[in-house]
Amino acid sequence: MYARTGRILAAALLVLALALSAAAEAKEKGKGKGKHGRSHDDHHTSDHHAGAVITAGEITIIYDYVRRYGAADFGPPQGLPPGIAKNLARGKPLPPGIAKRYLPQRLVSTLPARPGYEWIVVDRDVLLVAVATAIIVGVLTDVL
């Protein structure tokens, strides 16, 4: 009973954190607007992928997998230089040449299909990335 309550609480906290992050990002977008009311980068980054967010269900599936099977299936985490780590954020492009790994197939098969997107593991984080643009559309930090 306590394990289920803990999972529900963890999922609720993650959803709250994602909502606060999205609100902060929306507030930040209000700064630096061009003459047409949008910043110069808006149409290239997160506006194009506004509907692509990591859902609460996906968060639960990923965390349950790590809790059940551990992090060994993901390979060893590789530390990142601080400048690169700071650029792993929603709406930013995936830095070129970054050491990335993919989610274990056993986990991918349990997640909903995401045509045009791929799940990437960088260091201890799980990212949802648009394949065509390499724009990060979602980040789960310190999963592993």
Question: What's the CATH code of the domain at 7?
Answer: 3.10.450.160
Average pLDDT, stretch 110-129? Answer: 94
Non-local (6+) Cβ contacts of 121 within 8 A are 74, 75, 100, 101, 102, 103, 127, 144
Give the three-state DSSP class for 138: strand
Examine the pLDDT at 55 and tell me if it is beyond 70.
yes
State how many domains the chain has. Answer: 1
Residue 77, pLDDT above cutoff 60: yes
Name the band, by pLDDT with cuts 50, 70 and 90, for residue 81.
Answer: confident
Q: Hey, what are 72's tokens? A: 């060994």
Decide if pLDDT at 112 tops 90: yes
- Res 3: pLDDT: 55
The domain in which residue 91 lies consists of 2-140
- Rounded (10°) angle between helices 2-29 and 56-69: 130
| The residue type at 20 | L
If you average pLDDT over residues 34-61, what whole number do you get? 60
Q: What is the DSSP string of 113-128?
A: P-TTEEEEEETTEEEE
Mean pLDDT, rounded, for 21-43? 42
